[in-house]
Structure formats: C-alpha cells, structure tokens
C-alpha cells in the first residue's frame, strides 16, 4: 500500500503525578505521529500498519530522526523532574564504583584479564607474565571514542600468548572489526578484518586465526539488511583481508550460519553449523596437517540436536549433547576411525548440564539445579572426584582450561554479591581467591529466597525473591520489580546488578521468574514456551505477578515489570493481556511487531522460537500476542517506559518506535506512555558506564514514581 499523504494524529492527555507520590501536575502532549493508510490482507484478515514508516533507519530518514528527537525531548523533560531520579543516579553510580575483574585466560606464560577501576566507561585489558607478575595495560578502549561507546568485545591470545586477536564494537552494533596486537611490544599490527559478526576467533597455532563473516552489505543498509551467507575464513598474520582463505561456506543454503573452533593440540577444526537460534547443529571436521586443504568431512549431519565441543585430545573429541538426553550429557568419539561412534562419558541426570570443560586430566561439570549453580569434578572416565563448594545461592561461570594444565578460574556471583574470581587447582581440589570485589554495602543485609508458584495450567515455576532482611522479617508488602525473559533456551540465574541493588536499598523487592521457554530445565522447558506454546510464557509471568500480590510481597498497585529483547516482547504482551495487574512497566529493546520481525538483520534466526510469519498456522499464533497489534484502545494501561537505541541492529528500534506510537494513540488511560531512545548504544553489550548509570536512574525513577517506592528522604 502507498505511504503517501499521511494523516497526522496528535494525542494529548493530562497526567497527574499525585498518585502514588505527591508531585506537581504535568501536562504531557505527545508529539504528532504520522499515520499511513496502509492495510494488508494477511491470510484473510485485514491488518493495518499505520506506523510502518517508523521502521526506516533513523540515520538516513529525516522524518524518523525528527520523530525520535521530539519523543526524546518529551521523555527527558518528564524524567528530569521525577523526585527519585537524582537519588537513583547517585546510588547506582556509587554501587558501580568498585574494582572488578574478568576471568583470566592463560596462554603460554601469560595471563590475560579485564579490569575496571570502578567507573571507567569501558573495562581495560591487562596481561601478567606469570600468575603473580606485574600487570601491564595492553588495551584501553576508553581512548577510542569521546563518548565511550566504542568497546573491546572478544579477545583471544595465540597459542604462545605473544599475539592477541581482538574485536571492536562501535556504538553497540553487532558488526565487529578484528585487529591484532603484539603482546611483547604492545603494538597494534597492520592486520584488520571487517564485517565479522556472530563470530568466534580461533587461532591456528600462532600463524593466524579463523573467523566468521558476512558479505559486505550495501552502503546504507548495514544496520537493517538481513544477515545471510555467513562463511568461515582464515586470516594469516601480516596479510591483508583480501588474501584471507575461504575455509567453509554453504552457498547453496544462504540461511546457514557457521562458527569454528580449534582443539587445544591443533589437530582439528570443528565447524558448528546452525540455521537459527535453536540448539540444533551439524558438525564438520577439518584436519590440521602440514598439507592444509580445508577439506571438511561430516561428523554429525542434519540439524537435530545440541552439540557443544568440550575439547579434543588427539583423535578423541568430547562433546556435550542433548541427543537422547534432554537435560544433556557428555559423550566422546574417536574421529580417526572410518565410522565414528559416540560413547557415553557422563550420563543425563536430574539437573541440567550447563557446560563441561577438560582441565588437567579432569572433567569439570557445571549444572543448574532449579536455576542455581552446582559444580563438580570427575575423571575423564566419568568417575566422581569431588564437589566444588559454592556455599550460596548464585551463579558459577568459567572453569576454562586445557588438558595437561590443572589450573582454571571461575567466577561466582549472586543478587547481593558481585562476581568474585577464584583459582581452582584440579590436583589439590582447592579454590583460592584471585580477585574479590570490595563493596560499600553489607550483603548479609539482604535475604534471597527461592519460591515456587503454580502457573495457569498448574505447572510449577521457580522464582527468586530478594529483599532487605528487615523487610522480609516484618512481612511488609513493598513495591516490587519483577523481571523475566522466557525464550531461546536461555536460563536466568542469580547475578549482581547495581541498578537492582539501588532498588533494594530504597526498600523495594526484586523478583526473577524462571519462565518456560528458558533453559533452566532442559529441552522440555524450552519447548513448553516457544512456537505454539508461547502463551505459556505470558501465563507464567502473569501468575508470578499474581503470586507476589497474593503472598503479600508487593501491594496491589505496587507491582512493576521489566524485560529486555525477548523479555521486552514479554512485557508488551502481558501488559496487553493484563493491564490491570501492573503499576508500571519497562519494555527494553523489545520485539514488538511479530508479523515482520524476520525482515531485519538477525530477525530471521528467531523463527525457531517464534515461528514463520509467512506460514498461516504460525502467523495466527503470532497475531494473537504481537504487542503492536494487540494494544487495547480506551483501556487503562500502566505507566509505560519503552527503551531502545538508535544503533540497535539486533532488534531494530523500529519495533519500539511503532509500538510506542500505537500506544500513545490508543487513549490508554491517564498514566504516561513514553519512549527513551539512546544514541550510539545498541542492543546492550558494550554500553559505557555513564550511559548505563543514566538509563538505570531513568528507568528506576519512573518505576518508583508509579509504584509508590519512596527513596530514603535523608539522601534525596
């Protein structure tokens, strides 16, 4: 349909800030948003899309840029006058101001790790020669951009640790530029790789590395065009990218994606192929001998099961798989024989296997038990050796290492505990601190509970609830922030957030619901919350909110919700379905138009979880919950703050633009429905500290305003 001669619609409403917090009255007049008379017949239904023009790229479309500017002016003016904002900004900043470290990675005699002194916009990369050697600054991304929005993304040392390949992320985009640094001199070499995305960096000895890239997009389409024809290349150090060798591609199937890993002994390249986001992979092998020909042979054909390389030892490769084990197991295979057969090493058990690593001559296994981490050590034959004591509800990550080297590092964190780094020796079975954070609050002041509640269909769903112990002991109902995701086999586990801690310090409660669609209980849990079962996710989240009210954790009128990406979709969907349940909501970088999500950048991958809008059966499921298409006109909605970024090329901001325009035009009650659009900050990764502080303060002040959360008066 034509986009010409759009009619203009202006929406104005008076918003009283008296309930729930006494404040001056303010008139919000939403900016005029052009409506286009665009209606399409989709499977016999007439579907209007009056705001499709907002899908255009804000960088190149002046009308979209003008709309963004006017919306931001309104939103920033509103947020600036909230009485809680300055307190939250100060507390989030103070809570982030502590020295923190990333997991060390060992290569040769060198130890590499990230470190942030506290409030640096980007963490820096350091190296030590020897575990206790003097630290040397290798890379400082804070010098790369005045606004701090250019980040160091991945970094991988070569086998001997003398070279380091690292990727650069600019403005939050998913595109990466890969460069190489000489560790011994600190100088950046002339090597440069462009148009890498969704890539590993896998060194072949010290001579070069494998990476995944897409063809260079057309000028002006870098941030919206579909990603197809991913291929693996080998870059030899000291040569231009134009001489990079094509290692693996599938030109006959442009939708397939590929990533490469190299076993620690340099014997094999393992290529993992996928079609979407589902954990269903094919495996191909390339031997690394003297006469290199990049000839791949199939180890696992089809795209049926999850296969994750653990490590290779000679011709024996170890994998984690869900083949015949929905909660995963460890298997091994001898790839030197004519017909390789997988043999069991660690069988499936009640807990979900998150990862496995070979360190020294041991297997380290990390499991999820009701969304909490447990870890143990076994022999390579699968016999128990010891449990790794974690001693709290939290999340353990890391445990990377190499066969023959007994040393590994792991991180442990929780809602009231920033990540501490520990060194673990598989020979002695002992852990010792490598770097522990020093915080300005007392973790013991906060209670962490895990509760279980019943969803609409009776399914038992876990949820973490965090409050001050004094609040919990008093049985006081307080404004509560409920967070969820529920998709893509992703597990939500306990972790530290300065913004959440500020909410808790103000006297609120935080709840994290482990919804179906995630990976907390393996494949069956994921399957129960995707495709035709997606409504289960929304039912789980709504039931979580009802439980928090029924149990007296939060008062009616005090429940706020938040979710990002697929979680932004979650927030949009449940607000449409139960606008009466929530006081306020933050939908962040959400997928809001479920009928067109597959037309932009990485959206085509998501059909594994959402289905195909081009197929009628899937379309009808999507149409039933699509946030953009199901806004209820004339119904009182909670206060809504939509957040996105102009450089998000994962979930393009047009999703949030269209949804907000439709919500503002819907006469959906007297509470504000606003959008906050960040500049040079994409889907979330690489966001500088100052932007994270500002966004956190804006969101929490907004949620506090409409849930009745009062920040400490003495510190306002």
The answer to whether residues 565 and 663 belong to one domain is: yes
Cβ atoms 692, 658 nearer than 8 A: no
12 and 126 share a domain? no
Q: What does the pLDDT look like over 201-234, one tens digit per residue? A: 999 999 999 999 999 998 888 888 889 999 999 9
In contact, 345 and 332? CB cutoff 8 Å: yes
Residues 88 and 121 grouped into a single domain: no
DSSP 601: G
Q: For the residues 584-607, what does the mean pLDDT come to?
A: 96
Report the percentage of the chain scoring pLDDT > 90: 90
Question: Under a CB-based contact definition with an 8 Å cutoff, are residues 68 and 118 in contact?
Answer: no
pLDDT band of residue 16 (cuts 50, 70, 90) is very low
- Is there a domain that residue 378 lies in? no
3-state per-residue secondary structure call for 502-515:
HHHHCCCEEEEECC
Read off the pLDDT of residues 308-323 as tens digits, 9 standing for 90 and up: 999 999 999 999 999 9
Structural domain of 629 = 7-93+441-711
Task: Answer whether 121's CB lies under 8 Å from 689's CB.
Answer: yes
Same domain (yes/no): 113, 41: no
Do the domain assignments include residue 666? yes
The reply to whether 615 and 579 lie within a common domain is: yes
Interatomic CA distance for residues 716 and 713, integer angstroms = 5
Indicate whether 375 belongs to any domain: no
Q: Beta strand pairing status for 372-379 and 362-369?
A: antiparallel
Q: Which residues pair with 321 in a beta bridge?
A: 307, 329
616-625 and 535-550 helices cross at what angle (nearest 10)? 20
Q: 681 or 452: whose pLDDT is higher? A: 452
Mean pLDDT over 328-347 rounds to: 97
Q: Please give the average per-residue pLDDT across 316-341, as a whole number.
A: 97
Cα–Cα dist 17/23, whole Å: 5
Please state the rounded mean pLDDT for residues 51-62. 95
The pLDDT value given to residue 491 = 97
Q: How far apart are the first and last CA of the chain?
A: 53
What pLDDT is recorded for position 226? 86
* Cβ atoms < 10 Å from Cβ of 68: 21
Q: What pLDDT was estimated at residue 167?
A: 97
- Is 31 found in the same domain as 142? no
Residue 166 has pLDDT above 90, yes or no: yes
Residue 682 confidence (pLDDT) above 90: no
57 and 180, same structural domain?
no
Same domain, 114 and 82: no
How are beta strands 480-483 and 509-513 bridged, if at all?
parallel
3-state percent helix, strand, coil for the chain, nearest multiple of 5: 20, 35, 40
Query: Is residue 215 domain-resident?
Result: yes
Tracing tokens 């001693």 back to the chain, one arrives at 391
What is the pLDDT averaged over residues 157-182?
96
239-291 per-position pLDDT tens digit = 999 999 999 999 999 999 999 999 999 999 999 999 999 999 999 999 998 87
Residue 7 has pLDDT above 50, yes or no: no
CATH of the domain at 572: 3.40.50.1820
Residue 336 lies in a domain: no
User: Can you name the residues that pair with 452 across neighbouring β-strands?
Assistant: 462
Q: Which of 262, 281, 299 is the last residue of a domain?
A: 262
Q: Across all residues in the chain, what is the average pLDDT?
A: 94
Q: Say if 390 falls within a structural domain.
A: no
Q: Which of 231, 262, 293 is the last residue of a domain?
A: 262
Q: How many other CB atoms are found less than 10 A from the CB of residue 381? A: 8
Helix (H, G, I), strand (E, B) or coil at 372: strand
In this structure, the answer to whether residues 71 and 213 fall within a common structural domain is no
Q: Exposure of 631 by Cβ count < 10 A (0-12 exposed, 13-18 middle, 19+ buried)?
A: buried
**Whether residues 167 and 28 fall in one domain:** no
pLDDT confidence of residue 9:
28
Containing H/E element for 378? strand 372-379
Residue 456 domain flag: yes
Q: Residue 303 corresponds to which tokens in the numbers above?
A: 């795209």
- Grade residue 466 by pLDDT with cuts at 50, 70 and 90: very high
* Cβ atoms 49, 657 nearer than 8 A: no
pLDDT (tens digit per residue) in 551-594: 999 999 999 999 999 999 999 999 999 999 999 999 999 999 99
Please give the pLDDT value at position 289.
Answer: 84
pLDDT bracket for residue 26 (50, 70, 90): low
The pLDDT value recorded for residue 716 is 40
Q: What is the mean pLDDT of residues 82-92?
A: 97
Res. 6 pLDDT band, cuts 50 70 90 = very low
**Which of 217, 237, 262 is the last residue before a domain boundary?**
262
Give yes or no: residues 602 and 481 share one domain: yes
Catalytically annotated residues: 565, 683
Average pLDDT over residues 293-305: 96
Give the Cα separation of 362 and 377 in Å (integer).
7
Q: Quick one: what percent of the chain has pLDDT higher than 70?
A: 96
Asked if the structure places residue 686 within a domain, the reply is yes
Q: Which phi-psi region, left, alpha or beta, contains residue 391 (left: φ > 0; alpha: ψ -120 to 50)?
A: left
* CATH value at residue 178: 2.130.10.120
Domains contained in the chain, number: 2
Query: Do residues 72 and 155 share a domain?
Result: no
How confident is the model over 152-161, as a mean pLDDT?
A: 97
Q: Is the pLDDT confidence value at 20 over 70?
A: no
Q: What is the pTM of this model?
A: 0.92
């Amino acid at each position: 349909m034509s986009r010409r001669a759009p009619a203009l619609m202006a929406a104005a409403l008076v918003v009283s800030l008296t309930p729930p917090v006494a404040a001056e009255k303010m008139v919000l007049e939403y900016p005029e948003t052009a409506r286009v008379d665009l209606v399409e017949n989709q499977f016999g239904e007439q579907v209007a899309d009056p705001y499709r023009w907002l899908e255009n790229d804000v960088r190149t479309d002046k009308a979209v840029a003008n709309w963004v500017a006017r919306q931001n002016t309104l939103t920033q003016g509103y947020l600036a006058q909230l009485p809680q904002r300055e307190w939250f900004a100060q507390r989030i900043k103070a809570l982030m101001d502590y020295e923190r470290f990333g997991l060390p990675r060992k290569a040769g005699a060198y130890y590499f790790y990230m470190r942030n002194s506290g409030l640096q916009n980007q963490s820096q990369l350091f190296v030590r020669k020897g575990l206790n050697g003097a630290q040397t600054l290798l890379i400082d991304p804070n010098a790369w951009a005045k606004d701090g929005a250019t980040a160091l993304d991945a970094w991988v040392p070569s086998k001997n640790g003398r070279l380091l390949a690292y990727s650069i992320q600019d403005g939050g985009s998913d595109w990466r530029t890969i460069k190489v640094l000489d560790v011994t001199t600190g100088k950046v070499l002339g090597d440069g790789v462009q148009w890498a995305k969704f890539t590993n960096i896998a060194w072949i000895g010290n001579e070069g590395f494998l990476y995944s890239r897409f063809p260079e997009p057309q000028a002006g389409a870098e941030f919206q065009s579909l990603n197809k024809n991913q291929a693996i290349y080998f870059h030899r150090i000291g040569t231009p990218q134009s001489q990079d060798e094509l290692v693996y591609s599938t030109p006959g199937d442009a939708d397939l994606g590929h990533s490469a890993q190299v076993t620690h002994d340099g014997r094999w390249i393992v290529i993992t192929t996928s079609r979407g986001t589902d954990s269903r992979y094919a495996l191909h092998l390339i031997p690394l001998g003297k006469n290199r020909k990049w000839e791949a042979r199939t180890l696992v054909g089809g795209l049926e099961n999850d296969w994750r390389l653990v490590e290779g030892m000679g011709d024996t490769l170890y994998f984690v798989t869900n083949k015949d084990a929905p909660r995963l197991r460890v298997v091994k295979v001898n790839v030197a024989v004519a017909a390789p057969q997988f043999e069991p090493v660690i069988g499936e058990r009640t807990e979900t296997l998150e990862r496995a690593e070979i360190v020294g001559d041991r297997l380290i296994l990390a499991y999820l038990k009701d969304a909490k981490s447990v870890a143990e050590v076994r022999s390579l034959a699968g016999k128990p050796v010891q449990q790794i004591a974690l001693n709290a509800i939290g999340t353990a990550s890391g445990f990377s290492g190499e066969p023959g080297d007994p040393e590994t590092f792991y991180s442990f964190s929780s809602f009231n505990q920033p990540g501490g780094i520990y060194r673990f020796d598989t020979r002695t079975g002992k852990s010792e601190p490598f770097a522990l954070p020093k915080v300005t609050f007392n973790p013991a002041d906060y209670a962490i509970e895990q509760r279980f509640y019943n969803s609409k269909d009776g399914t038992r769903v876990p949820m973490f609830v965090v409050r001050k112990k004094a609040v919990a002991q008093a049985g006081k109902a307080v404004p509560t922030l409920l967070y969820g995701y529920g998709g893509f086999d992703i597990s939500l586990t306990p972790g530290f957030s300065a913004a959440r801690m500020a909410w808790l310090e103000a006297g609120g409660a935080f709840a994290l619901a482990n919804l179906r669609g995630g990976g907390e209980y393996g494949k069956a849990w994921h399957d129960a919350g995707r495709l035709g079962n997606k409504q289960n996710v929304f039912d789980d989240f709504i039931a979580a909110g009802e439980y928090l009210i029924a149990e007296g954790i939060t008062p009616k009128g005090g429940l706020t919700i938040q979710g990002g990406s697929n979680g932004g979709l979650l927030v949009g969907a449940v607000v449409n379905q139960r606008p009466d349940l929530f006081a306020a909501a933050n939908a962040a970088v959400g997928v809001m138009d479920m009928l067109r999500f597959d037309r932009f950048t990485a959206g085509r991958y998501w059909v594994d979880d959402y289905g195909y809008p081009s197929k009628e059966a899937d379309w009808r499921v999507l149409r039933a919950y699509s946030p953009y298409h199901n806004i209820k006109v004339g119904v009182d909605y909670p206060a809504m703050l939509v957040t996105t970024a102009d450089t998000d090329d994962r979930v393009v901001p047009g999703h949030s633009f269209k949804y907000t325009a439709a919500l503002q035009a819907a006469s959906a009650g007297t509470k504000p429905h606003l959008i906050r659009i960040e500049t040079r900050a994409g889907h979330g990764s690489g966001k500088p500290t100052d932007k994270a502080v500002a966004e956190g303060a804006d969101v929490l002040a907004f949620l506090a305003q409409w849930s009745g959360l009062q920040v400490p008066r003495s510190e306002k």
